[in-house]
Chain A
Amino acid sequence: MNKLKIISKGLIKENPVFVLLLGLCPVLGVTTSAFNGFGMGMVTTFVLFMSNLVVSLIKNFIPAKVRIPSYIVVIASFVTISELVVEAFMPDLFEALGLFIPLIVVNCLVLGRSEAFASKNDVFSSVTDGFAMGLGFTFALTALGGLRELLGAYSLFGYSFIEGDGMLVFVLAPGAFIGLGYLTAIFLKLIGDR
């Protein structure tokens, strides 16, 4: 398959958040600011990239019956690695993401890509797919984080533009759902789905 096609599919046509609606828990849970969203996106991209790589390398040695548990073990190993690395080098980010880093294990996006793509395709395509899906995920998280930070705190990536406290509701739970709802509608309109 054409590599460029895989990338544009992950970013736009099959954007994991806006189109496939996969892995919504971290999308809603950590996007209180653009930076938190971006950080979570990067950690997930790393896990997606590595798990797609390993799954596609070992796909011929795993009996079909135990493939899902095997994929989960592969994913859990990379999640533990990234958890320890983030805790050691970026304690602030670790504090902000909290429970959602270990929960990447049960992110349906990661397991979904292993099962739907990496177990059927060659190594290079799988790695490209993991990277592209990760980028699409990061894009969605950063966009939602940016929107919520902009409306909720009148700032972006920590730089404030306007004086004042912002609309608190966008930083709290309801803002996450409502913000994602409208962003999804806009995204679907832009890619010509409706």
Chain B
Amino acid sequence: MENVFIIIIGAIFVNNIVLAQFLGICPYMGVSSRVSTSIGMSGAVMFVMTLATIVTYLIYNFILIPLDITYLQTISYILVIASLVQMVEIILKKVSPALYQALGIFLPLMTTNCAILGVAMLAVQYEYTLVEGLIFAVSHGLGFGLTIVLFAGIREQMELIDVPKGMRGAPAALVVAGIMALAFMGFAGLV
């Protein structure tokens, strides 16, 4: 039980996926100009991340290890994630059109989100069990959601500020992300 708590706090705050591990920077910078879209994005990330971690865990332990072909990890994982994203898209379209509409273009973008592949690989690297891996993935998804929604909130406010010409757009956003990373460093040593 204690172990589970450490995984959750560690994944959300201490080793935050965006601000401490630098994974998923593309959606972090790209889809964070509005709070509403960033909420949609983090929902999609959390969903696919959890599914992908479970499926890749099963593939790694029941196919790659018994056949001794672990060097195929990268290729098999990315193929699994790509088809999983496609499958989720088709199922959602049929089962829950409302959710499909809400996630919209974020689903196909998921294939090239390095946070998904990164978390799936880290879960294997840390030798988690299936349940631990599941908790690990959900908390990393929550951590991603927390940072991207906070960041989107700051960026919405920044539109009203007169930023110096040279720093407008990406440079100012990166500096803000740096200050957020500085704030999250306060969690270091918590677990």
Instruction: Tell me the chain B residues, 69-127 only, with Cβ under 8 Å from chain A.
Output: 71-75, 78-79, 82-83, 111-114, 116-118, 121-122, 125
Which of B24, B82, B83 is in CB contact (< 8 Å) with A25? B24
* Residues on the B chain within 8 Å of A23, using CB: 26
In the docked arrangement, what's the CA distance between A83 and B70, Å?
Answer: 13
Main SS at interface, chain B: helix
Kindly provide the distance from the CB of A36 to the nearest chain B CB, expressed in whole angstroms: 13
Asked if A24 contacts B26 (CB within 8 A), the reply is yes
Interface residues on B, range: 35 or more
Asked if A194 contacts B168 (CB within 8 A), the reply is yes
Asked if B22 contacts A69 (CB within 8 A), the reply is no
Kindly provide the distance from the CB of A82 to the nearest chain B CB, expressed in whole angstroms: 10
CB-based nearest A residue for B168: A194
* Residues on the A chain within 8 Å of B22, using CB: 24-26, 28-29, 173, 176
A184-B82 contact in complex given A103-B118, A174-B182, C-beta closer than 8 Å? no
Which of A68, A83, A175, A184 is in CB contact (< 8 Å) with B171? A184
Asked if B172 is at the interface of the complex by the 8 Å CB criterion, the answer is yes
Per-residue contact bits, chain B 173-191, to A (CB 8 Å; 1 contact, 0 not): 1110111011011000000
Asked if B21 is at the interface of the complex by the 8 Å CB criterion, the answer is yes
Which of B72, B114, B121, B174 is in CB contact (< 8 Å) with A184? B174
Asked if A106 contacts B73 (CB within 8 A), the reply is no
Asked if B66 is at the interface of the complex by the 8 Å CB criterion, the answer is no
* Residues on the A chain within 8 Å of B24, using CB: 25
Interface residues on A, range: 35 or more
Asked if A173 contacts B181 (CB within 8 A), the reply is yes
Q: Which residues does B use to contact A, with CB under 8 Å?
A: 19-26, 29, 71-75, 78-79, 82-83, 111-114, 116-118, 121-122, 125, 165-168, 170-175, 177-179, 181-182, 184-185
Nearest first, the 7 A-B pairs at minimum CB distance are: A177-B178, A181-B174, A178-B178, A29-B22, A185-B171, A181-B175, A24-B25
Q: Which residues does A use to contact B, with CB under 8 Å?
A: 21-26, 28-29, 68-69, 72-73, 76-77, 79-80, 83-84, 99, 102-103, 105-108, 111, 169, 172-182, 184-185, 188-189, 194
